[in-house]
Amino acid sequence: MLLCNRAERPGSAWQRELQAALPAVPIDPWQPGMAAEYDWALVWNPPQQLFDEQPQLKVAFNLGAGVDKLLSLRLPPALQVLRLQDAGMAVQMAEYVCHALIDFFRQLGVYRAQQRQGLWQPHAARERRAYPVGILGLGVLGTRVARAVQAFDFPVLGWSRTPRAVAGVRCFAGAGELDAFLAASRVLVCLLPLTATTRGLVDRARLRCLQPGGCLINIARGDLVVEDDLRAVLDDGHLAAAVLDVMAEEPLPAGHWLWSHPKVTLTPHISAMTLRREAVAQIAQAVQTGLRGEALPGLVDRARGY
């Protein structure tokens, strides 16, 4: 049986579409105190109570790419954790990054400000080769973003924990090559998962490794970046801009400096939203694979954190 804490109520669109895709599998929305025992749980920001009441669960399928919040809970030791591998998120992230990159590179924010002033003033064109784009995290999502950026003829670099090869991308790997990767980048795109080793990774020293006059684009997790350090490099001019879809605290509190900083553009964690149709298809495939006793797709290494 399958339990879904994403179904807000019995008969929700999620439950209807899941049931249509898995007609032979009983699917119930989670309610506190349920007596029945389930094998699988489909979860999004689940409460600890769900796992306390269902310790026999075999699989938890996280309805998103990031699993840091799920792994912070007390989970049954043998529980297997799956995550959405794409489900329409990669193309959304690619278009978000390309929009932010081109807006910055073409100085469109400057022209918007000039429009408000009634000022007609063209600025010199920039050279793409002077704005290399570094993708921090070359997994499925990062590779898709890299391919999209390549289409606009920017130099593209990528960094990953272990060596990877991506056509047309200058690849770096491991802690020993991180500073060299940053020094070769003017635009930095954060796409790493949040783990104990990546929390606070993008601090003042690493931001200063970037080529001056660049831009930070973070669409991964807010805690990857030390926000006070980001403020310092924006204020002293080393960074020209930051585009943030994620923050350390969400929703961002009223009065936080990020709301009003003139070099910061914010969006409310919308760079990649879970698309129900694509997610349901991936969930159904995973459940059917599990029922056949085959290796599950999208399996998370709980010790590694992704």
Q: Which residues are catalytic?
A: 221, 269
For the chain, the three-class secondary structure string (H helix, E strand, C coil) is CEEECCCCCCCCHHHHHHHHHCCCCCEEECCCCCCCCCCEEEECCCCHHHHHHCCCCCEEEECCCCCHHHHCCCCCCCCEEEECCCCCHHHHHHHHHHHHHHHHHCCHHHHHHHHHHCCCCCCCCCCHHHCCEEEECCCHHHHHHHHHHHCCCCCEEEEECCCCCCCCCEEEECHHHHHHHHHCCCEEEECCCCCCCCCCCECHHHHHHCCCCEEEEECCCHHHECHHHHHHHHHCCCEEEEEECCCCCCCCCCCCHHHHCCCEEECCCCCCCCCHHHHHHHHHHHHHHHHCCCCCCCECCCCCCC
Q: Kindly report the CA angle at 188 between 182 and 191, in degrees rounded to 5?
A: 110
Indicate if the alpha-carbon torsion angle 106, 89, 192, 235 is positive or negative.
positive
